[in-house]
Amino acid sequence: MNQYPTLKKQLQFLIVVTLILFIVAAVNLLTANSLNYFGLMPRELHSLPSIFIAPWLHGSAAHLLTNLLPLLLFMWLTMQWPKSRFWLVTLTICLIGGLGVWLFGRSALHIGASGMVYGYFGFLIYAGFRSKQLRYIAISVLVALLYGGMLMGILPSRAFISFEYHLFGFIGGLFAAWAWVK
């Protein structure tokens, strides 16, 4: 079995992720954002499982669309590592990003895929240099050059934007690169 999924398999997976995000957004829209109840509320014990749910929820179509392109691009670039690595990285980002927000975030509802976006971003920036392999270094340099301005998003800017998810997702991505890339 090939440890690297084919481009066709990668695209199929990204289409499934997109469909799930759109279906969740449609249901949320039709139910007056009732699904957002399952967002992440820091230090609320009942909210702890939301570490895995909150990235799928968005406050509006614009919120989803803002996250969608970088999420799909960064997921696809992360899929250039072996398949098992992609899943370890994704789980690490989800856990560290979500737990960081749950432990240290402001008392507010935290939703959206931006924590995952920043996690993949952090992974992609560091993993190439950690691997010392030219193809992965090229990905790191390209991501840093084209998306380096995203680093400003880990700083507080607007009250309704969860910089905490950005920050802890990014830290999760850096940790994933350190832990899972040799």
Find the CATH number of the domain harbouring 137.
Answer: 1.20.1540.10
| Residue 100 confidence (pLDDT) | 98
The whole-number mean pLDDT for each consecutive block of 10 residues of the chain, a chain of 182 residues, reads 84 98 97 96 97 97 96 98 95 98 97 98 98 97 97 89 96 98 89
**Cα 115 from Cα 66, distance rounded (Å):** 13
Residue 69 placed within a domain: yes
What contacts 179, CB < 8 A, 6 or more positions away? 88, 92
Q: Whole domain around residue 60: which residue ranges?
A: 7-180
Based on the structure, what is the number of domains in the chain?
A: 1
Which pLDDT does position 54 carry in this prediction? 98
pTM: 0.96
Q: Widest CA span of the chain, in angstroms?
A: 49
